[in-house]
Structure 1
């Protein structure tokens, strides 16, 4: 307990930064991922190709390399100066949105094609069909894999510690400087992540129970 109590000035701000990093990146990746999913099911070949290219590129690129680009290569372009925290948010958002896209697309594919055809028959546009008919039903199917993707994002935030972002993953380095046991510190960090992930898991179970649909 001494490691935790004597270093609350590290643990509390670090985990608050982790939560902040997660929430911003989660919101961004959900929006971008949904847009990408719409591109991938679009009837326009160019849009489908753009969505497919994005997903293929970012799903097969290690997250660490994306962090390296925004931390070291991007500043050399001298476009807009961004902080390391902002760079971490962008890297996590771009990477996670590719996985969110595939989750949403798989949910869209579970909606019977006949419903979209019926909507087209009465004159609805592609956007109206997605927004009013397909996506509301797809949401019910994507809850479990989407929550799993968000949990993976939560754990991926620790990579930001290697790029000068003060968050939970960087606590061990500070504990080492202060002369405290790094191993015990890491155990507290792991426990902190478990405590933070439990509510997300409970949310998943609650939504699954509320939105369970027999197809």
Structure 2
């Protein structure tokens, strides 16, 4: 316990780096996911094919390979720090998965809402922006909570390219104390578990807060 108390600031620093990286990944993934979902549903055929290939490819590549590809391969063209390389790599992967979350949510919106928007004089994309997307967002909360959990755990992979997140901080502590592997990594596992549970609880509370009686929501 004394060891954990003494090194608690380092573990907390690592946890904050992991959460910061998670915020970058989910933000980039959300932007990519919404764009892909809209193009898959409403875009012209060539763009549907292009984004469909993107989604299939990036869902099929392991995140750790993307990390190495962006960090080492991308450095030949753009100089990125390990943190931002991890954010881009995991964000590209998350965008492919989030696209299917948003695609399913958009398709879950009744067709009559689009027709109602067009009947009010909106263009197709105005109806999508002001009618379809707000309605679809309600159906993405719980699936997005699953993506939160998945990407939170994926941030630990950033260890391989030198990001000093929670896992690497644990490795530093083990090296400096000449042992205590089980104790330190047990503390890391507990930290990830608590962050994961709190995130899932927050998404469940948000889903309940915005639910409308009589309107079905994603389960």
Q: Common fold, TM-score beyond 0.5?
A: yes
- Find the counterpart in structure 2 of residue 88 from structure 1: 86
Question: How many residue pairs get matched?
Answer: 213
Which residues of 2 match residues 122-201 of structure 1 at below 5 A? 122-178=120-176, 179-201=178-200
- Find the counterpart in structure 2 of residue 26 from structure 1: 26
Q: CA deviation at 1:62?
A: 0.8
Q: Under a length normalisation based on structure 1, what TM-score does the superposition of the two structures give? A: 0.92
CA distance in 2, matches of 1:117, 1:62: 41
Q: Deviations over 1:103-126 (max 9, x none)?
A: 011000111112213333444222
- Find the counterpart in structure 1 of residue 11 from structure 2: 11
Unmatched 5+ stretches in structure 2: none
CA change 1:207–1:196 in 2 (3 A) is same
Unmatched 5+ stretches in structure 1: none
Instruction: Say whether 1:119 aligns with 2:117.
Output: yes
CA change 1:45–1:122 in 2 (3 A) is farther
Which residues of 2 match residues 55-70 of structure 1 at below 5 A? 55-70=55-70
**8 Å contact kept, 2:11–2:169:** yes
CA distance in 2, matches of 1:126, 1:207: 29
Q: Under a length normalisation based on structure 2, what TM-score does the superposition of the two structures give? A: 0.90
SS for the counterpart of 2:140 is helix
